[in-house]
A = this chain, B = another copy of it.
Amino acid sequence: MLKRYLPILTWLPGYSRDDLTNDAIAAAVVTIMLIPQGMAYAMLAGLPPQAGLYGAILPLLIYAIFGTSRPLAVGPVAVVALMTAASAGAVATAGSAEFHYAALWLALLSGALMLLMGVFRLGFVANFLSHPVISGFITAAGILIAASQLRHILGAPIGGKTLPQVIPSIFTNLDSINLVTVILSAALLVFLFWSRKGAAPLLQRYGFKPDMAKLLAKTALLVAVVVSTLLTWILGLNGWGGVAIVGDIPRGLPEFGLPPMDLGVIQILLVPAIMIAIVGYVESISIAQTLAAKKRQSVNPDNELIALGLANLGAGISNAMPVTGGLSRTIVNYDAGVSTPAAGAMTALSIGAAIMVLTPLMYYLPSATLAAIIIVAVLTLLDFRALPRTWAYSRADGAAMAATMLVTLTMGVEQGLLAGVGLSLGLFLFRTSRPHMAVVGQVAGTEHFRNVARHKVVTDPAVFAIRVDESLYFPNARALEDRIVQTLSDHPDLRHVVLQCTAVNYIDASALESLEAINTRLKDGGVTFHLSEVKGPVMDQLSRGHFLADLTGEVFLTQFDAMAKLSPELTRACRSEDRCDTLLRAS
């Protein structure tokens, strides 16, 4: 019971020296990535750099206690930072104290929502974000993130939250582009791009073992930070060159406490907080589950919601920003051989130490360095081939993905997500409202009944046998009724209708009334109505109403039983293919 709510108890008692070594190495690598990334994502969110560092302390300690994924590296991530910027931007100006309060309330609200979803086991809500919508949203968000960093890369005051705002802003600001910043950015981007694929082989050539080379390559971020900071300091790029720098970062640990409460603002932030909670959870659980499966470990979705919820509450009371499990650092953590969530706690302690010691050294860190780190990080998010691939597989899914991308890019992140979810639910309901219905006949020489349109089958004109390939519920209840009523008026010589229920998993009250109406209408027309192959749970349900008592026909175990009774000669004859042919030729 205690373990259910405190997953730390599942691993801490058996913690070994090997675990300690593994976790310490992984924590060191993650820390080296997290210091620049934390500051960069804070900048992306429109917050001071320390907000990103604070987001890597308390939340990580909390996750280590409540989380069930061993490699998951919690902290500030790019997509959530972009959503924070967009949502907080709706109530305050980036850089103001009110803006940071809004970001903290987003962390608190989304944390509380995750916690509630976890406690009440409502994690399934996240399923309504379909894969194509998530994929389209993340690609579009990646583009918006890269676009938002152009101001730092070019050193010009390019503004705007959507492409129709950013693109004209580039052209009106062409004059104010800072050449020194552009050269620095270009060098950093080239180095960081190269390091992703080129650093590890180079290090191997210099005698490092493959694993070690791969880990060392992850220090490229740190190298970029150190080299660009030193260059700026030594050459005075921020003075004559006009290169923007990070400047003062407060030294020491965050202060704790709730941000000032403004109920009007909180009300506006509620919907964005729901989205941040769901997107954050989906991003985190996907990585956690993928990696857990590789080691046959398991991740508990409800526990993950609770852990991420508490981590965000922690972020909200420690002057940080919304956090979740991030893709890149989690993979680095996993590759570095992390053993338990203790690595997260060690990372948090290292970051805490870094804030107390290193912040003065970051005074000359150029904003362009952080922007370059963000751009290189989000490139892994972009997947342009997903759209044609999804469209080829399913038009509905492709349309939902395209709408999500288009609306996100042109109108904003919230609108994009809402459009995607709305369209995919709409198309889903539209599809279930038009179920596939197959008129079935007997495959000559067998007891099988298949679709008359796809197979060479035998049918009796006096018996209309139809199979509905969907559960019967209100969006499609009338479809079956319409079809049977239509058939009734088209075929005056009809005597029996048999509904084959192989694929019917549920019949709701609307569908039950439709079945009753079908029964009555057929009865009025002198036609009997039968069911076949009704599943056990559906039969249980039907027996709760009076439909079975009113049914003019029977409920048959199989379609063959039904036809053997309703059209005995033809059906029995057709078990033999030869006799069937003879019979058909004679008629």
Contacts and interface: CB of A to CB of B under 8 A. Distances in A.
Given A290-B517, A488-B293, A541-B393, A475 B508 contact: no
A98 interface: no
Interface bin, chain A:
35 or more
A363 interface: no
A136 to B, nearest CB: 11
A510 B130 contact: yes
A129 B396 CA distance: 23
A130 B424 CA distance: 21
Interface in A384-443: 389-390, 392-394, 396-398, 424-425, 428-431, 433-436
A390 B301 CA distance: 34
Interface stretch (A48-56, A80-88, A223-231, A478-486): A478-486
Contact of A132 (B124, B431, B510): B510
A16 interface: no
B509 A394 contact: yes
Nearest to A282: B478
A17 interface: no
Dominant SS among interface residues on chain A: helix
Interface in A507-546: 508-510, 512-514, 517, 520-522, 524-525, 535-537, 541, 544-545
Which of the listed residues A471, A502, A535 has the most CB atoms from chain B within 10 Å of its own CB?
Answer: A471
A289 interface: yes
A474 B436 contact: no
Contact of A434 (B124, B131, B433, B477): B124
Contacts of A522: 293
A131 B392 CA distance: 37
Given A292-B485, A485-B292, A489-B297, A503 B506 contact: no
A488 to B, nearest CB: 6
A513 B127 CA distance: 13
Interface string A466-503: 00011101111111011001101110100000000011
Which of the listed residues A503, A508, A520 has the most CB atoms from chain B within 10 Å of its own CB?
Answer: A508
A585 interface: no
A128 interface: yes
B425 A394 contact: no
Given A131-B513, A290-B521, A297-B489, 5 more contacts: A127-B433, A131-B509, A394-B509, A394-B541, A502-B503
Interface of A: 124, 126-132, 289-290, 292-294, 296-298, 301, 389-390, 392-394, 396-398, 424-425, 428-431, 433-436, 454, 469-471, 473-479, 481-482, 485-486, 488-490, 492, 502-503, 505-506, 508-510, 512-514, 517, 520-522, 524-525, 535-537, 541, 544-545
